[in-house]
Amino acid sequence: MTAARRASLHTLGCRLNQAETAVLADSLSKRGYEIVPMGEPTDVVIVNSCSVTSEAEADCRRLVRAVMRRDPATLVAITGCYAQVGVATLQKLDGIDLIVGTEDKQRIPELLEEEHGKRSEPRVVRNRPGKETFEQNGTGLYLQQTRANLKIQDGCDVGCSFCIIPQTRGRARSRQFEDVVREARGLLQQGHRELVITGVNLGSYQDGDRNFVDLLGALDVLPGLQRLRISSIEPSTVTNQLLEFMASHRRVCRYLHIPIQSGCSETLARMRRPTSRQELEDVFARVQRILPEATLGTDVMVGFPGEDDAAFVRTQELITNAGFSYLHVFSYSPRPGTRATRLLDQVPRPVVKERSRKLHEIDRRLRETWGAAVVGNQVDVLLEERKPEGHWVGLTDQFHRVAVAEQANAGTTPLASNQLVRVRIVDRQPRFLWSELV
């Protein structure tokens, strides 16, 4: 009997990429491929790439070089956003056999059937993204994962001046309502207890007369679901309807990641963001009023062209007042083809570095306060993996990472991945919160 071909998949970037990689892995598995972890001997390596920053693109190139050093005979396919906009650069990189754009990502299994060995030059398959309403076929294969990412929409119409996503993923379009629910049922039947809703601009979801909250309502009642988590969502789409739904439906995680990028109205206008400083303040005031127990995180960019000291102070003020639990801090990275590259008042790199340092320090303090606030509380933790040191690590619905010591008492049920356990938080450590079983 001929051994099954082996395939390794690696995801760079966002949860949306993770969701698409899972569906791709499922398709390959159904065609007879054995899915193996990156680094193990394999016939095919597929990299689902990111192009949101220059560093993300560099990560992709480094990964390809590492694969070629390890096994030069491995077939390498690059897909995702970098494959959509960075073809000229990728074609110069030794070892790549397939470059597949975002619209053709799920065609990779059939494209691989047409490959019979290493190419001297890569084959490029790339269509214009976002031409039609997409349909997600299959159910994601989530190996050893308790949480499953569920893609509900793609593309974005906002047009931020720093963002390359409209070029890589096209205009906003929503997945069919019934198709999302069908995949969700399949994921729950596989045993997943938490679904993470993903997309480029989640809150813009609309299928006919059914909006994002309508979709959450349909998912919330599915058998087997214990948690429904919303990933990053634009502030302009955080409605009272959404917040009130989250407050009244206990399976929806008390967690919101709302990117601000800046706290200065002038900077936000140059970024072509759809919200002003006042509108951001209104969003966070409504979150604190309707969903006060929620963990609140954000993305913030430093060094955008024209950001002066006063603008940076305004950003710090908003962060202080909004009630954030943590920050994701990014330095502005020029993306070829975006409007921001035409702005002349670039911020000197030493200034960007210092502003980044200050926000990372604020982030450290926010995380300390966030963790310390729950010491002594009883919470539910969805266990994910056992560490070599002998403890388990999992997440609360508010996104705290918690360590749980294995039960020492004889006769107790052993802990296991994908198990929901009740614990008491007893201490805060830099990497996670320590707990004991209740």
Show the tokens assigned to 352. Answer: 């960007």
In the chain, which residues fall in CATH 2.40.50? Answer: 378-437
Cα gap 184→224, rounded to integer Å: 10
The answer to whether 423 and 394 are in contact (CB under 8 A) is no
- pLDDT below 70 — which residues of the chain? 1-3, 130-145, 407-412
- What is the C-alpha to C-alpha distance for residues 30 and 226, in angstroms, rounded to an integer? 28
Rg of the chain in Å (alpha carbons):
22
Taking a C-beta distance cutoff of 8 angstroms, is the pair 38, 74 a contact?
Answer: no
* Closest to 157 (Cα-Cα) out of 212, 206, 100, 196: 206
CA-nearest of 150, 170, 148, 173 to 159 is: 170
Q: What is the location of CATH 3.80.30.20 in the chain?
A: 147-371
Return d(Cα 259, Cα 280) in angstroms, integer: 10
* DSSP result, 245-261: HHHH-TTB-SEEE---B
Residue 130 class from Cβ within 10 Å (0-12 exposed, 13-18 middle, 19+ buried)? Answer: buried
CATH class of the domain whose range is 378-437: mainly beta
Predicted confidence at residue 368, as pLDDT, reads 94
Rounded CA separation 268/158 (Å): 13
Using the structure block, give the residue that is written with the tokens 């206008």.
269
Q: State how far the Cα of 33 lies from the Cα of 30, in Å rounded to an integer.
A: 7
At 50, phi and psi to the nearest 5?
-125, 150
Query: What is the tally of helices (H) and strands (E) in the chain?
Result: 13, 21
C-alpha 53/C-alpha 102 separation (Å) is 17
pLDDT of residue 330: 94
Segment 91-115, tens digit of pLDDT? 999 999 999 998 889 899 999 988 8
**Ramachandran quadrant class, 216 (left: phi over 0; alpha: psi -120 to 50; beta: rest):** alpha
CA distance 167 to 159: 10
- pLDDT for 103: 84
* CATH match of 6-125 with 3.40.50.2300: yes
Residue range(s) in the chain whose domain bears CATH number 3.40.50.2300: 6-125
Among 50, 8, 410, 16, smallest CA distance to 200 is for 16
Confirm if 338 and 159 have CB atoms less than 8 A apart: no
- Pairing of the two strands 210-211 and 227-230: unpaired
For residues 140 and 26, is the Cβ–Cβ distance under 8 A? Answer: yes
Task: State how far the Cα of 381 lies from the Cα of 253, in Å rounded to an integer.
Answer: 12
Q: How many other C-beta atoms can be found within 10 angstroms of the C-beta atom of residue 21?
A: 24
Task: Name the DSSP letter for residue 415.
Answer: P
Residue carrying the six token digits 């963001």: 273
**pLDDT tens figures, 342-380:** 998 999 999 999 999 999 999 999 999 999 999 999 999
| 300 closest CA partner among 270, 335, 267, 262 | 262
Whole-number pLDDT of residue 351: 97
CATH 3.80.30.20 fits 147-371, yes or no: yes
Report CA-CA distances (Å) from 138 to 16, 22, 168, 185, 186: 16, 10, 23, 12, 9
